[in-house]
Amino acid sequence: ERRELGDALASELEKLGFTVERMYMPFGQAIPIVYGTDPKELQWHIYTAGWGKGALDKWDYSTINQFGCPWYGWLPGYQEAGWWQYENATLDELGIKIFKGEFKSKAERNELYRKVTEMIIQESVRVWIATQLAINPARKEVKGLTNDLGAGLRSPLNPREVYVPGKDTVVVGHNWVWTEATVWNPIGGHDDVYSVDIWRAIYDPAMWSHPFSGEPIPFRLDYAVETAGPDGKLNVPPDAFMWDAEAKAWKAVGEGVTATSKVTFDLSKYIGTKWHNGQEITWEDVLFSIYQTYDIMNDPEKSSMEAKTAAILKETLAPIKGYRIVGENKLEVYLDYWHFDPNYIAEYAAPPLQHYPWELLAAMDKVVFEKKQATYSETASEKFGVPWLSMILKDHAAMVDSALDEIEYPENVFTVLGTFYGKKENFESRKAADHAWFSEHGH
């Protein structure tokens, strides 16, 4: 379909007098040119793209920003420092209001959405041609299928629930399991549908969207929402904490801090369960994921290397006012965010779990930020001339495997306001399990 659309557009442009160079190439070859080069290099002008819906979204706030508002990092320039940028301050202002819940009613939200949609159509950086309802065939003996109204059979519910009576294996086909643009890393990878579909089959998100209503619902983490919004405020406990990238430590937010909402997440179905390599998921894995996210955003060296990632994180995480561990397995999140649907407050507050063992995340950080052998994002890869880190490639996995032996145990990350949440005695066994996994699987 993309070739047919491209040829039709090219023919119309030629009728108008333009000379058109038709550059036919597969997805994996095109993506690095379109999304991995500085627009001012003029390596391309028009690209016929396709996007797949991963899930329904009853009150969308991210897709409208992704497709039309430059701040979100998906329009030409991609927020990579030093590159030419498509800019539109009005779209950014209105899009961020939708994203951050800066409205006081459903009617106000809907009016913002209409305005942004109209402006995106007027700008036409992306021109939408058609919505295709995909057909996903399945053999009649396959049971337990969920036909997600947005994602069809690609819903992550299906690989967890489908079965064939009397058999212990279900075979699923996909157009591709790897392309040159299929990149597995939790920070700046999983940009293509081919890796995303497989990735969603092997980890559990904190929350997901209901397959028929698009309503955010608990998946791995249960939650409770309390809000004083849209106009009120809650007091944030002074012992709530945030990561201080300069001090390299968790710091108390202190007295006098307020927030619009509070979400309490129950991690009892996460902490204490096991990774694929048999090791236990602990508070270390939760705290390291949060630390890693904020350190990339705020550490000057890291944010300069991963400029696009840091720029987007600074906007999206700005409403978070503090975290607080309560009891054995609960995490409170305080944020300046309100929505008329409280499930969207929970979705926004969900902790940034990377779903990799913490020591692998630490080894990846060493490869990217200390050894500078690879980058997390595609734009940084192009900028610095090193590979885009992908944990399914043997040579990339080998770099991380080697770095495992060089990382030190980060007690500062696992010590929150004087309380130590680490299990240092398991450090060597966790690394050994990772080495064994790499040795057996190569990725």
Residue linked to tokens 């819903």: 155
pLDDT of residue 28: 80
List the chain pLDDT tens, one digit each, 443 residues. Answer: 889 999 999 999 999 999 999 999 988 889 889 998 999 999 999 999 988 888 889 999 999 999 999 999 999 999 998 999 999 999 999 999 999 999 999 999 999 999 999 999 999 999 998 888 777 788 899 999 998 998 888 899 999 999 999 999 998 888 887 887 789 999 999 988 888 989 999 999 999 999 999 999 999 999 999 999 999 999 999 999 999 999 999 999 999 999 999 999 999 999 999 999 999 999 999 999 999 999 999 999 999 999 999 999 999 999 999 999 999 999 999 999 999 999 999 999 999 999 999 999 999 999 999 999 999 999 899 899 999 999 999 999 999 999 999 999 999 999 999 999 999 999 999 999 999 999 998 77
Rounded to 5 degrees, φ, ψ at 62 are -95, -40
For residue 168, count CB atoms less than 10 angstroms from its CB and return exposed for 0-12, middle for 13-18, buried for 19 or more.
exposed
Q: Which residues pair with 420 in a beta bridge?
A: 415
E strand or H helix at 14, and its extent? helix 2-15
How far is Cα 44 from Cα 41, in angstroms, rounded to an integer?
A: 8
Q: What pLDDT score does 55 carry?
A: 87
Annotate 386-433 with three-state secondary structure: CCECCCCCHHHHHHHHHHHCCCCCCCCCCEECCEECCCHHHHHHHHHH
pLDDT of residue 192: 85
Cβ neighbours of residue 380 closer than 8 Å, sequence gap 6 or more: 80, 188, 305, 306, 307, 308, 309
The pLDDT, as a whole number, for residue 436 is 95
pLDDT number for residue 306:
96
Question: If you average pLDDT over every residue of the chain, what do you get?
Answer: 94
Residue 287: how many other CB atoms lie within 10 Å: 24
**Which residues 6+ apart lie within 8 Å of 323 measured at CB?**
240, 241, 242, 290, 331, 332, 333, 334, 351
Distance CA 294, CA 291 (A): 5
- Per-residue CA distances from 83 to 34, 76, 239, 313 (Å): 13, 9, 41, 19
Q: What is the rounded CA–CA span in Å between residue 22 and residue 115?
A: 35
Q: Which residues contact 44 (CB under 8 A, 6 or more apart)?
A: 23, 33, 34, 37
Would you state the structure tokens that stand for residue 284, as one six-digit string?
């270390």
CB 351 within 8 A of CB 290: yes
pLDDT at 221 (0 to 100): 97
**Element containing residue 2 per DSSP (H, E):** helix 2-15
Tokens at residue 235, please? 């007091």
**Helix or strand holding residue 441 (H, E):** helix 427-441
Q: Please say whether the beta carbons of 348 and 337 come within 8 A.
A: yes
> What pLDDT score does 116 carry?
98
